[in-house]
Amino acid sequence: SKSYSERKRGIFLRSFFLFKKQILILFLLTLFSSNFFLVGPYISKLFIDKAVIGRDTGKFFALSVIGGSLFLFSILIKLIADIAKNRIAVKLKLNLAGKFIRKFYSLDLSFLQAKSTGENIYRFSDTERIADFIVEHLPSLLADIFKIPVMLGISLWISPRLAVLLFILSPLFLLH
């Protein structure tokens, strides 16, 4: 007989492979939307250096339009990601709940009487936690793992000492 954690890991892996295309979409949307936040400081620097300090009205308006467009586009991407995340979450939770209920009803009455009602409800809530991890945390974790080498490469290009510091602190970046 498998232990409870082994069964839980098996449910997670089966759900992951069943919904891998949707998880990939969430990963790409998360990665794409997070890149807008990396562009923001660069646009701000251009805005201040070229438009405000240089007193160039044309660049001021051009950079304002670019910044506003990037902001609106990032909100649109975030909205699409949230809608996709909610649709995938509903499908995944229904899939897991259906499997749990089918398994639950296939058990012997003596097994159900041996377990408390609270324990069975607790096991049912595991499907919710697995679905939340797959839909919420896994795409963000994959995006962070992808972004760390990019950030280390950029920091190495700017300053090797900065790259070493970021490399040391990168495990903390994943824990956020």
Q: According to the 3-state scheme, what is the secondary structure of 7-36?
A: HHHHHHHHHHHHCHHHHHHHHHHHHHHHHH
Structure tokens at 91: 């499908």
Q: What is the pLDDT of residues 83-117, one digit of tens each?
A: 988 998 898 888 888 888 888 788 787 877 777 77
Q: What is the pLDDT of residues 37-69, one digit of tens each?
A: 667 667 777 777 777 777 777 877 887 788 788
